[in-house]
Structure 1
Amino acid sequence: MSSDAPLLEVRNLKKHYPITEGVLKREVGSVRAVDGISFAVERGETVGLVGESGCGKSTAATSLLRLEDPTDGEVLFEGRDITEYNDKELKRFRREAQMIFQDPTSSFDPRMSIGESVAEPLTVHGMRDRERRRRIVKDLLERVGLSADDIDRYPHEFSGGQKQRIGLARALVLNPKLIVADEPVSALDVSIQAEILSLMKEIQDEFGLGMLLISHDLSVVREICDRVAVMYLGEIVEFGRTEDLYEDPQHPYTRALLSSIPQPDPTKRGSAVELTGDVPSPSNPPSGCRFHTRCPEVIPPEGYDFEQEAWRSVMDLRVRLRRGGVDADAVREFVASETGQSPEAVSKDRIKAEIRREFDIPEQLTDASAESVLSDALELLANGDQSEARDLLGDEFETVCETATPELRRTPVGHSASCHLIETPEDTLTAPSTND
Structure 2
Amino acid sequence: MLASLEARPADPLLSLISLFEADPRTDKIDLGVGVYRDATGQTPVMAAVKAAETMLFELQDSKSYLGPEGDVSFVNAMAKLAFGNISVGKSYTGLQTPGGTGALRLLLELWQRANPDGKVWLGTPSWPVHETMIRSVGAKIQTYVHYDTTAQSACPDNLLAAIRSAKSGDLFLLHGCCHNPSGADPDASLWLLIAEALLNVGAIPLVDLAYQGLGNGLDEDATGLRILLDHLPELLLAYSCDKNFGLYRDRVGAAYVVSRQLGLLEVAQGHLSEIARSCWSMPPDHGAAVARLIMTEPTLTASWRQELNQMTKRIQSIRDRLAEFGDIGKFAFGRLRNEKGMFALLPATPDEVVRLRNENGIFMAGSGRINLAGLQEADCDRLVQAIGRLPSFAHKRTS
Same fold, TM exceeding 0.5?
Answer: no
Say which structure, 1 or 2, has more relative contact order (CA 8 Å, 6+ apart).
Answer: 2
TM-score if structure 1 supplies the norm length?
A: 0.28
> Which protein has the bigger helix share?
2
Q: Which structure has the larger Rg over C-alpha atoms? A: 1
TM-score if structure 2 supplies the norm length?
A: 0.30
